[in-house]
Amino acid sequence: MARKRSLWQRAKLRAAYLRRILGSPREAFRRFGVWRYRNMSLRRLILLSAVLVGLLGGISSVILKNLTHLIQHFVENTLVEQMGFNGFYFAFPIVGITLTLLVIRYVIRREVGHGIPNVLYSISRGKSLLPFRSTYASLITAPLTIGFGGSVGLEGPAVGTGAAVGSNFARLLNLDAKTRSLLLGCGTAAALSAIFKVPITGIIFVIEVFALDLTMASLIPLILASATGILVSYVFMGQSLTLDFRQDASFHPGNILYYVLLALFTSLASIHFTRIYSRVGKFFENRLHSRLTRLLLGGLGLGCLIYLMPPLYGDGYATMNSLLAGDFASVIDFSWAHGWTDNPWMAVVLLVVLLYLKMVATTVTFGAGGVGGTFAPTLFMGAVAGLAFAQAVNLVHPEADLSLSNFSLVGMAGMMAGVMQSPLSAVFLIAETTGGYVLIAPLMIVSALSFVITKFYTPYSVYTEELAKKGDLPGRDKDKAILREMELDELIETDFVKIPVDATLGEVVQNAVARSSRNIFPVVSPHNHLVGIVLLDDLRQVMFDPSLYAKLRVSDLMIQPPAVIDTQTDTMETIAQKFQKTGAWNLPVVGYHNRYAGFISRGRMLSAYRQKVVEMSRDAELF
């Protein structure tokens, strides 16, 4: 005991010594920042940060996956097998979603949201700033939802967590918005790389979905982060794969027509799922105002679906692996449909029903309050769609002898390209997970066709539909990309002399005109609320007549500005639009409750815009 006490005391002394040397964590990072500016170039810092973010992003994915599997093992092996009652599957989803909502309300105390849409919104409106709670919120809530049977996936939460790690790491180092976006992408690439062991797909997904610029300055850090993520996955999870399948059947060019038809089928399924996702989500949000009502209706509905069709339980990767292995009979051999699978056409019908009900189960899980992503459900639907299509063709035209596993894999890519509108990511995900590029031609054809057809009928993916309606969708428009990089606070000028709304002309001439070098004056209330503006050109017409000094008041001379910039709602894009629409050279800025904050001038904004163009050109040559 004495020895333990001495060791504890020694540890306390060492900790006290480190605190004395380094100070508080904030002080330590401040010192590191000073040292970095003196001794480390930005390029080296970005490369080092990419590796560290990749390490943390990979670890977060490993934790997320293992925690989910631990809960699933407890539920399936402890509660179901030992008690021998499959009816528990009916109650598990509502239990999991209830636990999720309790954690959100009493532990996190903020809405968790969906991982990828949250990241896209932060890129568009938040300067790639994600709150610190996003680094752990999904790690707790998603395993509860999915482990108890929620019909959603882990990839969305993994992406959101990895992105939050990158964003907060960059903020800790006081890096600018562009570098934050890059490290946010590094965290995302590492998370996806660790989940699927697909490092190339992780990089392509970031570039394709997050619209990150494809330059050497961004590509090298993404490669380092993605490689670090997959190494972490191998260290902690060994050779185990989420999609455990290796391609052995060859591709026959004579089947190209069937792959084209598969693309049509997956695009129709993608359109249908996107619309169901939107409509069911609106139903839960607009019609069911009580969270308890959403929980009961959604949880019980999901429980019924899973009880009728057990493959809808959880993320569905076990079912996908069975389908890819050719064991689809066991997948659709439900207790209520026992013997139906002896009829091959009935098996196809059951697969189509499973495809449709997976769409419903996923959207209901979200509507009830579950936390997860649409990545895994999309792959599930693609595998089922491809298998159903190939089986139907083989029944109609036996000479075709289509490979069920090939069409399941290509169906995954087609569904992913349509639902997520990320065809390149779909191609490389399947190519990497199968360990080869045997199917690269049909993967490219089906993904491209599915993407084009789906986008024609549904311009936005499940991730971007709501963001696009609000104008918050990041894109590859260079002009908008530069505007997003600009900081509103840095453009506000405050050297304008304010005029009280009840001032006389004489007071304006003496206290404002005589002390200002500007030709515009903001008029404010006693509480600093912006009331209007007074132009020097209007004052010149009366300021040289002293007889009017006591008669005229500011309210007689004041006009309303052509537009007002609100720091709470306006983005740099909307500010640029206001300048273009009004033709004004100066526009007033207000903050909370219409409180006057200053002015933004067209000249200063153009100068900042030009500076960002120069910086982006230099960044492209960073490596």
Kindly report the number of other CB atoms within 10 A of residue 439's CB atom: 25
DSSP state of 422: -
The residues facing 524 across adjacent strands are: 500, 530
Instruction: State which amino acid sits at residue 564.
Output: V
* Residues 338-382: tens digit of each pLDDT: 666 677 888 888 889 999 999 999 999 999 889 998 889 999 999
Banded model confidence at residue 487, pLDDT cuts 50, 70, 90:
confident
DSSP-based helix, strand, coil % in the chain, nearest 5: 70, 5, 25
For residue 2, what pLDDT band results from cuts at 50, 70 and 90? Answer: very low
Burial (0-12, 13-18, 19+ Cβ within 10 Å), 144: buried
Q: Which amino acid type is present at position 132? A: F
pLDDT beyond 90 at 337: no
Tell me what percent of the residues of the chain surpass a pLDDT of 70: 86
Chain position carrying tokens 């004052």: 539
Mean pLDDT of 459-484: 72
Mean pLDDT score, 325-335? 69
Q: Give 40 or 558, the one with higher predicted confidence.
A: 558
Q: What is the mean pLDDT of residues 128-152?
A: 90
Token digits for 61?
A: 């994915």
Query: What confidence tier does 447 reach under pLDDT thresholds 50, 70, 90?
Result: very high
pLDDT greater than 70 at residue 436: no
The residue-averaged pLDDT of 550-565 equals 88
Nearest in space to 137 (alpha carbons), one of 64, 233, 225: 64
Report whether pLDDT(29) > 80: no
Per-residue pLDDT tens digits for 232-282: 999 998 887 777 776 666 778 888 999 999 999 999 999 999 999 988 888
Are 146 and 373 contacting, i.e. CB atoms less than 8 angstroms apart?
no
Spatial contact of 377 and 362, defined as CB atoms under 8 Å apart: yes
For 188-242, write each residue's pLDDT tens digit.
999 999 998 999 999 999 988 887 777 777 889 999 999 999 999 999 988 877 7
The predicted pLDDT at position 108 comes to: 87
Determine whether 571 is exposed, middle or buried from the number of CB atoms within 10 Å of its CB (0-12, 13-18, 19+): middle
Arithmetic mean of pLDDT, 467-482: 66
* Average predicted confidence (pLDDT) for the chain: 85
Nearest-angstrom CA–CA distance, 305 and 290: 22
pLDDT band at 92 (very low <50, low <70, confident <90, very high): confident
- Which pLDDT belongs to residue 4? 47
- Rounded Cα gap, residues 162 and 190, in angstroms: 7
Tell me if residue 88 falls in helix, strand or coil.
Answer: helix
pLDDT at residue 18 greater than cutoff 70:
no
Label residue 1 by pLDDT band (50, 70, 90). very low
- DSSP secondary structure letters along 198-234: -HHHHHHHHHHHS----SHHHHHHHHHHHHHHHHHHH
Report the share of the chain in percent with pLDDT over 90.
39
Which DSSP category does 247 fall into?
-
How buried is residue 520: exposed, middle or buried, by Cβ count under 10 Å (0-12/13-18/19+)? Answer: buried
Give the pLDDT confidence score for residue 103 in this predicted structure: 92
Q: How many CA atoms lie within 13 A of 54 on its CB side?
A: 28
Name 29's Cβ contacts closer than 8 Å, sequence gap at least 6. Answer: 172, 173
CA distances from 315 to 327, 380, 591 (A): 18, 8, 45
Query: Domains of the chain (ranges plus CATH)?
Result: 25-237 (1.10.3080.10), 253-475 (1.10.3080.10), 480-620 (3.10.580.10)
pLDDT of residue 210: 83
In this model, does residue 83 exceed pLDDT 90? no
pLDDT over threshold 70, residue 623? no
Q: How far apart are CA 430 and CA 414, in angstroms?
A: 10
Q: What mean pLDDT comes out for the span 25-29?
A: 62
The mean pLDDT value for 312-324 works out to 85
What pLDDT, on a 0 to 100 scale, did the predictor assign at position 252?
Answer: 83
